[in-house]
Amino acid sequence: MSEDTLALPKDILGPTPFPSLNTFREWDNILLKRYKPNYARLHETCNLCALGRCDFLAERIGKCGITLEAHQARMALLAIVSGAAAHASSARAILLYTIKEYGENRSINLGPNVLLSSPLIMTIVGVRPRTLNDLKRCLEWVQEQIVEVLSSVNVGQEGDVLDLESKALHVGMADLVALEIHELAKLVSYRFPKGEADTPFTNIGFGAIEGSKPAILIIGHDAITGIEVIRYAEKEGVFDSVEVLGLCCNAHEISRERHEAKIIGPLSDQLSFVQTGMMDVIVVDQQCIRVDLLEAAKKVRSPLIATNEHVCYGLPDKTLVHTDEVVKELTERRLDGVVILDPIKAAEVAVKTALEIRSKRERFKVPKEAFSIEFYANWCLKCPQLPCDNSCPNGLKIYSSIQAAKRLNFSKLSELDLMCIGCGMCDAACPANIPIMRMIKYAASWGKSKIRIGRGPIQDSEIREVGPPIILGKIPGVIGFVGCPAFTRSRDEIGKMAEELLKRNYIVVTTGCSAMSMATYTNDREQTLYERFNSLFDEGNLINLGSCAASAHLAGAAVKIANILTHRFLLGNFEEVADYVLNRVGACGIVWGPMAQKVSSTISGLNRLGIPVIMGPRGEGFGRTLLGDTEHEWTVFDARIGDKVYMSMVPEHLLCIAKDMYEALMLTAKLCMRPNDTTKGRQIKLRNYIDFYRRYHDDLPKDIHLFIRTEEDIPLNEKDKVIEKLKEEQWRPNPIPDPTLLRRLVRGNAKIAQEGSRQS
């Protein structure tokens, strides 16, 4: 591996520093005309203002004049902006805390291998942040955009579908900046890996818990308190005497700080794990925390410490009370939990409480072998309406599994575990109060497996190394698995998809709960994908970037390709970089279990940057897709001559939904195609598409002719059949252009681009 250093160009400021709502309206229009918004009409009534309730089916328009379609766009925007707000809030929390702890002049330096440390901030905001204080400026910009976009959702504001969509893309872009700020603040302040590929492994799964030591569970996203818990335990010399475990993104964060910290699992394991009572103390900060967590914790006498103003659970604020007194109140069960807004103090309380309370709550810990599934199965009233089955959003056959458990056959319950999303609806629906989720979890294996800890950014030299194979198609694409574990089918699917893609030389990167879910998929030798595949940013490698916020590194890698490979300058030059990514970088996101609004916000940012995203079946919940169709004129400017030329229908969609993993794989192969693919590259991508398509059908894909530009694109092993198909479709060859969607990048108009390369 080369460690060559990127020659830092002299900073040249592009045309769009600190963009406002409409700065990229033209770019959005280009995208949205090709990828038309489609809505599922989830919101047929509107109650947003006092003029309503408006029923769009009865009245066709709202009382403010908004159309049904625009209202759908507005509601989608609302979800996206709230997601961006959550990420910005999280970034703000970590940034302000690290500035308080380390000073605002702390340098943004990720070492010689990551000189291009803030590609998204540079491209979008037009600033090269050198200190934490610089990040503050960037965060202020993010916050401004969120306020501005949110205000446009108000009644009597924006009502045009495309403009609402443009704002959704804008706030998604701001979301990417928030994620990068979040990551940078952590990377320069904590002991996280800074792009090193060969990160150590840690254990993941319910089986990872030893059970013999006081255990502290960290849930949430901020990383702050979790890391303070580790630091306090280290300072007091008790790190080896306690177990620090994480759930959801905080699990990634604590393992990035100390790989001995363990990961329990993704968000879907939250409730069922707390119900086991194995935790002596639970620490939460913000986001992706179940609102009924306190109730579950109470039942097993696990004290809960809330450490963020966003999630207080109605608990008393003990921030100013002496630590020992709080510990006493918690260990003596005078309080179920407390709010402590000082992370260092919260960490001290958590560790001390865990050490003291452990002996007192031994009876509330229910290890796997101590739970009697058949005992609870016998409570079943055999309700004729099957409320358990009907309440399950995944349609799991709970009733029959409980009946089988009565007969001591637990395998059916065990099978449900991989498909359970941990929502707890079955528990709530059961009139006999059977703890169904616990039964499922206890019936399943409590194994542990291996996951690589998050590595953070992609090194500059790695980008240079893989640039040519990506362009020449040896690496058919860079696939990012991000998002929540709200899968409609088995959580194994995400691992199976990744395995298929890895075997075909795709680079697979993953973050957050997707990274954890992937670790539950093992082969017959019990090895996870992390153990089987290397972790370089290279062909057939699997990279865990870290928490959800680390998705910024996925988008950042696409931006880096534009800069490192062709020296397209970044600073304040978003449109030209996005144009490069959309037309040349075969990257694609898979959000297999979209749940939180935050994911929709990140998706929106990726879309504006030119990275298509495939959602799993649950993506229907967002009610919005951006789909291409054959009616659109699929043309680009040929940058050499300025003519508008046909460039084949790629990438076909910007945001779409796959109904199952096979369709997702098929779409992945298609959405990694780019107009500038070399002939060899397109051959490989088409071969993958044909192979994935054949999982469904025996024949060639019906739309194959839409992706073939010249005969040289046709995979050699399919040449005869494809040519026959092309004849049927009266296909005509089209040369491969030097594609751009921006007229100003056509030679002769490209003053800025030329200026940039000359000066750099």
Partner 1 sequence: MKETLEYFKDPSWTKIIAERIKDLAPSRNLKFCHVCGTHEYSIFRYGLRSFLPRNVEVIAGPGCPVCICPASDIDEAIWLTFNGVTVVTYGDMLRVRGSKISLREAKALGGEVKVAYSISDGVKMAESEPNKEFVFFSIGFETTAITTAAAILKSPPKNLSFLISHRLIPPVMELLLGIGDLQIDGYIAPGHVSTIIGMKPYEVFPKAYRMPTVVAGFEPTDVLLAILMLLKQVNSGTPKLENEYSRVVKWDGNVKAKKMIDEVFKIVDGRWRGLGRVPYSALKLKEEFLQYDARERYEINIGSSRDLLPGCSCHLVMIGKITPLSCPLFTKACTPEDPKGPCMVSSEGTCFIWHRFHQISKRD
Residues that bind partner 1 (CB under 8 A): 1-5, 7-8, 464-469, 471-474, 565-568, 580, 583-584, 639-641, 676-681, 709-713, 735-736, 738-739, 747-748, 753, 757-758
400 versus 710: smaller Cβ distance to partner 1? 710
Nearest approach, Cβ of 671 to partner 1 (angstroms)? 18
111 versus 735: smaller Cβ distance to partner 1? 735
Residue 642, SS3?
A: coil
Nearest approach, Cβ of 576 to partner 1 (angstroms)? 10
Nearest approach, Cβ of 562 to partner 1 (angstroms)? 9
628 versus 681: smaller Cβ distance to partner 1? 681
State the burial class of residue 19 (Cβ atoms within 10 Å of its Cβ: 0-12, 13-18, 19+).
buried
Provide Rg for the chain, Cα atoms.
26
- Name the residue among 253, 213, 295 with its Cα closest to residue 93: 253
226 versus 572: smaller Cβ distance to partner 1? 572
Q: What are phi and psi of 358, to 5 degrees?
A: -50, -50
Nearest approach, Cβ of 563 to partner 1 (angstroms)? 11
Decide if 482 contacts 408 (C-beta within 8 A): no
Decide if 626 contacts 620 (C-beta within 8 A): no
- Name the residue among 576, 587, 606, 732 with its Cα closest to residue 673: 587
Task: Say how far apart CA 110 and CA 728 lie, in whole Å.
Answer: 56
Please name the residue that has the structure tokens 């749940």: 595
Nearest approach, Cβ of 651 to partner 1 (angstroms)? 16
Nearest approach, Cβ of 708 to partner 1 (angstroms)? 11
Task: Say how far apart CA 424 and CA 365 lie, in whole Å.
Answer: 20
Residue 70, SS3?
A: helix
Nearest approach, Cβ of 124 to partner 1 (angstroms)? 20
Could you tell me whether strands 507-511 and 542-546 are parallel, antiparallel, or unpaired per DSSP bridges? parallel
Nearest approach, Cβ of 679 to partner 1 (angstroms)? 5
Nearest approach, Cβ of 107 to partner 1 (angstroms)? 18
209 versus 475: smaller Cβ distance to partner 1? 475
135 versus 639: smaller Cβ distance to partner 1? 639
Task: Say how far apart CA 319 and CA 346 lie, in whole Å.
Answer: 8
**To the nearest 10°, the Cα dihedral for 353, 356, 359, 361?**
-30
Task: Say how far apart CA 571 and CA 58 lie, in whole Å.
Answer: 50
93 versus 736: smaller Cβ distance to partner 1? 736
Q: In what order do the strands lie in the sheet with 215-219?
A: 337-339, 304-306, 281-284, 215-219, 243-247, 262-265, 201-204, 449-452
Q: Which residues, other chains included, contact 574 with Cβ-Cβ below 8 Å and sequence gap of 6+?
A: 14, 16, 19, 24, 27, 123, 124, 173
Nearest approach, Cβ of 17 to partner 1 (angstroms)? 22
Helix axes 551-566, 574-584, angle to 10 degrees: 90
Query: What tokens appear for 720 in the block?
Result: 């005869």
104 versus 465: smaller Cβ distance to partner 1? 465
197 versus 267: smaller Cβ distance to partner 1? 197
Task: Say how far apart CA 426 and CA 441 lie, in whole Å.
Answer: 13
Could you tell me whether strands 201-204 and 449-452 are parallel, antiparallel, or unpaired per DSSP bridges? antiparallel
E strand or H helix that includes residue 95: helix 68-102
E strand or H helix that includes residue 326: helix 323-331
Q: What are phi and psi of 317, to 5 degrees?
A: -85, 115
568 versus 608: smaller Cβ distance to partner 1? 568
E strand or H helix that includes residue 508: strand 507-511
Nearest approach, Cβ of 111 to partner 1 (angstroms)? 13
Task: Say how far apart CA 341 and CA 293 lie, in whole Å.
Answer: 19
272 versus 676: smaller Cβ distance to partner 1? 676
Nearest approach, Cβ of 751 to partner 1 (angstroms)? 13
Nearest approach, Cβ of 606 to partner 1 (angstroms)? 20
395 versus 733: smaller Cβ distance to partner 1? 733
377 versus 611: smaller Cβ distance to partner 1? 611
555 versus 753: smaller Cβ distance to partner 1? 753
Query: What tokens appear for 33 in the block?
Result: 């005309």
Handedness of CA 567, 573, 577, 579 (dihedral sign): negative
Nearest approach, Cβ of 23 to partner 1 (angstroms)? 23
116 versus 288: smaller Cβ distance to partner 1? 116
For the residues of 448-473, what is the DSSP string, one character each?
-EEEEPP--SPPHHHHHHHHHHHHTT
Task: Provide the phi-psi class of 490: left if phi over 0, else alpha when psi is between -120 and 50, else beta.
Answer: beta
Decide if 233 contacts 214 (C-beta within 8 A): no
Decide if 189 contacts 106 (C-beta within 8 A): yes
State the burial class of residue 8 (Cβ atoms within 10 Å of its Cβ: 0-12, 13-18, 19+).
exposed
Nearest approach, Cβ of 63 to partner 1 (angstroms)? 50
Nearest approach, Cβ of 727 to partner 1 (angstroms)? 19
549 versus 561: smaller Cβ distance to partner 1? 561
